[in-house]
Amino acid sequence: MMDYEEFKKAFYNQSKINLDLYKEKQMKRRITSLVEKNGYNTFMTFYWAMLRDKDLYDTFINYLTINVSEFYRNPSQWELLENTIIPMLIKRKGNAENIRIWSSACSTGDEPYTIVMLLNRFVPLSKIKIIATDIDTGAIHKAQQGVYQERSVKDLPKEFLDKHFTCINGNLYKISDEVKRCVDFKKLNLLEDTYPQDMDLIVCRNVLIYFTDEAKQYIYESFNLSLVQDGILFLGSTEQIIGSTRFGFRPIQTFFYQKI
């Protein structure tokens, strides 16, 4: 199939998702396999079909965005957040309810809800409000429903599971409305849209791995502008910033960077 460049352009004009900023080899391989699986032999015939068929379009977006997530994913990182970073931010802001937090690729909500449950160790749920965004409205919709398979909550400490979830049919877990109310969900494309401002903590985990170096640099710089002085950027376990001072950050713990 020779028309990948044309496909990328057409798809960008339609969706504002710039596939050039995602690692090409991996992305092209994924898209090719989806196009072939659906019985198309050029990218553009697949594109035109997507425009006519909303389900196919949604399948494509879903496939592209890789929504894999989990509550309390990589537990040691969350322990660091709870034991070191949140206490530091509380000291600076006076209390936990004033900390401005943004989960910037929140997928199905596992990550922002984990943040809420940790904050709830310091402050009542009624005082918590954080921002959570993702490019994929399907994932955001699932987050707002708040119903999860057992595998999504397998790493979550039992105390949180007992306190904030109801088990349905023995294998689904529904998060409480009190926790849901603490999160403002919104669609936001990290490569196109305006970022929220004056953040104390930005969480961006397991998405930068999909981007080109150019895209990553743009995002680091934009996060830097979005943070307050001394604000914290929390990255995924395989996403260290090489030469972070170039982007105005100093590493303060593994996975945590502070705006200089």
Write out the residues near ligand SAM by the rule CB under 6 A: 65-70, 73, 105, 107, 110-111, 134-136, 139, 189-191, 205-207, 236
Task: Tell me how far the alpha carbon of residue 219 is from its chain's centroid.
Answer: 13
| Identity of the residue, 17 or 40, whose beta carbon is nearer to ligand SAM in the bound complex | 17
Residue 130 CA to chain centroid, in angstroms?
13
Question: CB of residue 91 vs ligand SAM: minimum separation in angstroms?
Answer: 26
Question: Is 40 or 179 the residue whose CB approaches ligand SAM more closely?
Answer: 179
Of 107 and 258, which has the nearer Cβ to ligand SAM?
A: 107
Q: Which residues pair with 233 in a beta bridge?
A: 202, 257
Question: What residue has token string 């322990």?
Answer: 79
Q: How far is the CB of 77 from ligand SAM (least distance, A)?
A: 10
User: Are the C-beta atoms of residues 64 and 31 closer than 8 Å to each other?
Assistant: yes
* Residue 97 C-beta: closest distance to ligand SAM, Å: 23
d(CA 225, CA 206): 21
Distances from the Cα of 172 to the Cα of 146, 153, 161, 163, 251, angstroms: 10, 10, 12, 15, 38
* Residues recorded for the chain: 260
Pairing of strands 227-235, 199-204: parallel
Closer by beta carbon to ligand SAM, 108 or else 120: 108
Cβ neighbours for 29, distance < 8 A, ≥ 6 positions apart: none
CB of 143 vs ligand SAM, minimal distance in Å: 9
CB of 112 to ligand SAM, least distance (A): 9
Closest-approach residue to ligand SAM (CB)? 65
The nearer residue to ligand SAM, 96 or 139, going by C-beta atoms, is 139
